[in-house]
Each structure stands twice: as structure tokens, then as C-alpha cells.
Amino acid sequence: MIVNGKEIVLQKEISVMDFLKKEGYDVTKVAVEKNGDIIPKKNFEAEMLSDIDKIEIVSFVGGG
């Protein structure tokens, strides 16, 4: 799987939610695109990621 342009080997399919948690992201501060489409936040638990997927994760930090 390609995550933010870097290759990551997935042993088995994993939900977006579990992947974000495993990688240490705060899910309240992210937006995720999979294969060019936004993944709605309500689908984070159900949406599965596999090795052929390409995902982009944007994580926001505070300040403005």
C-alpha cells in the first residue's frame, strides 16, 4: 500500500480506523483520501485498506 507517497507492506486487510490508530494519528484531526476519493469519516470503521490501495492522510496541527 502507498501511504503519502511511501510504500508500506500490509500483512492483511485493515480498516482505515485501525490503520490510523496503529500509525499514531489522532482521528479527530485527519482527512483521508483513498485512490483519489475522500473517505467519509463515518466510514472509517467499515472501509478496508488492502495492499493495492494508495492513500493520502492529511493531519492538521493547530494555529491560524
Partner 1 sequence: MMHTILKDVRPTRDEYESLMAARHTPEVHEKLKEGKVAIAGLGGLGSNISVMLARIGVGKLLLVDFDVVELSNLNRQHYDLTHLGMLKTDALKAQLNKINPFIETEICALKVSEENLMTVFNDYPIVCEAFDNPQYKAMLVNALLEQGDKKIVAASGMAGFDSANNIRTKQRFKNLYVCGDFKTPVQEGAGLMAPRVEVCAAHQANMVLRLLLNIKKA
Do 55 and 34 contact (CB within 8 A), yes or no? Answer: yes
Sheet holding 54-59, edge to edge: 6-7, 2-3, 54-59, 30-34, 37-38
Q: Which stretch binds partner 1 (CB under 8 A): 6-14, 15-23, 34-42, 46-54?
A: 34-42
Does 38 interact with partner 1 (rule: CB under 8 A)?
A: yes
Closest contact distance (angstroms) between CB of 25 and partner 1 is 11
**What is the Cα 9 distance to its own chain's centre?**
14
Q: Which of 1, 10, 54, 59 binds partner 1 (CB under 8 A)?
A: 59
Q: Which of 33, 46, 50, 51 binds partner 1 (CB under 8 A)?
A: 33
